[in-house]
C-alpha cells in the first residue's frame, strides 16, 4: 500500500459507485464527502458534513476537512488531516482515545439537535431567512454547477 500525500477535490451531485484513488468526492446536495482511504488500502471513507461532525473549507482551488479523518473502524486505522488538498499524516490513536472521541462526538451531535428544541430556537427552516437556510456548501454547489464563477 502506498500512502497518498494529496487529494484532489471533485464536486459531484452524487457519489459515484466506483471511486478513484486520490479524489475527494464532495456532494453538496447530500452534505457528504467520500474518498478512498489515503493509506492505499482501498476502503471507502465517508465524512458527513454537519456542524457537529466534519466541516469543509474550499477556496476555489484547495479543500480542507476538519477535524481529522480517523479510520478507526477500518483494518488500517489510518489517521490524517486533509488541509489545502494535502494529506498530513497523524499518529494512530489508542482504543481509549478513540472511545473518548466517539463519546464526545455523540454528545456534540446530541447537543446540536437539542439546541433546536430550546425555547426561542427556530422551529424549522421556514423560521430562518433564506440566506441563513442555504449553507455555504449549497451556495458553492450552485455557483460551480451553473458554470458561473466570480
Tens of pLDDT along 82-91?
Answer: 999 999 998 8
Higher pLDDT, 12 or 116: 12
How many structural domains is the chain composed of? 1
Question: Is residue 107 one of the residues assigned to a domain?
Answer: no
Asked whether the predicted pLDDT for residue 132 surpasses 70, the reply is no
Per-residue pLDDT at 36: 97
Model pLDDT, residue 3: 94
Q: What is the pLDDT of residue 1?
A: 77
Spatial contact of 149 and 143, defined as CB atoms under 8 Å apart? yes
Kindly state the helix (H) or strand (E) to which residue 143 belongs, with its residue range: helix 136-145
Average model confidence (pLDDT) across the chain: 80
Higher pLDDT, 55 or 139: 55
The verdict on residue 2 lying in a domain is no
Structural domain harbouring 39:
8-94+131-145
Which pLDDT value is given to residue 138? Answer: 52
How sure is the predictor about 119, in pLDDT bands with cuts at 50, 70 and 90?
A: low
Q: Is the pLDDT of residue 145 over 60?
A: no
CB-based contacts of 75, cutoff 8 Å, min separation 6: 41, 43
Best CA proximity match to 138, nearest among 46, 32, 7, 19: 32
Asked if residue 108 is part of any domain, the answer here is no
CA distance 108 to 34: 22
Using one digit for the tens of pLDDT, what is the confidence trace for 33-55? 999 999 999 999 999 998 777 89
pLDDT of 121 over the 90 cut: no
What confidence tens digit (pLDDT) does each residue in 16-27 have? 999 999 999 999
112 located within any domain? no
**106 found inside a domain:** no
Does residue 116 lie in a domain region? no
Q: What's the rounded Cα separation, in Å, for the pair 82 and 62? A: 10
Amino acid at each position: 500500500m502506498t500512502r497518498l500525500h494529496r487529494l484532489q477535490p471533485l464536486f459531484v451531485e452524487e457519489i459515484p459507485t466506483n471511486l478513484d484513488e486520490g479524489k475527494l468526492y464532495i456532494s453538496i446536495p447530500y452534505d457528504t464527502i467520500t474518498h478512498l482511504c489515503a493509506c492505499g488500502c482501498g476502503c471507502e471513507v465517508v465524512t458527513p458534513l454537519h456542524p457537529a461532525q466534519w466541516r469543509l473549507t474550499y477556496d476555489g482551488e484547495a479543500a480542507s476537512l476538519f477535524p481529522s479523518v480517523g479510520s478507526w473502524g477500518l483494518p488500517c486505522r489510518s489517521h490524517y488531516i486533509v488541509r489545502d488538498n494535502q494529506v498530513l499524516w497523524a499518529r494512530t490513536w489508542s482504543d481509549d482515545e478513540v472511545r473518548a472521541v466517539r463519546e464526545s462526538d455523540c454528545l456534540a451531535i446530541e447537543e446540536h439537535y437539542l439546541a433546536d428544541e430550546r425555547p426561542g430556537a427556530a422551529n424549522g427552516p421556514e423560521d430562518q431567512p433564506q440566506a441563513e437556510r442555504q449553507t455555504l456548501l449549497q451556495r458553492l454547489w450552485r455557483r460551480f454547477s451553473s458554470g458561473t464563477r466570480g
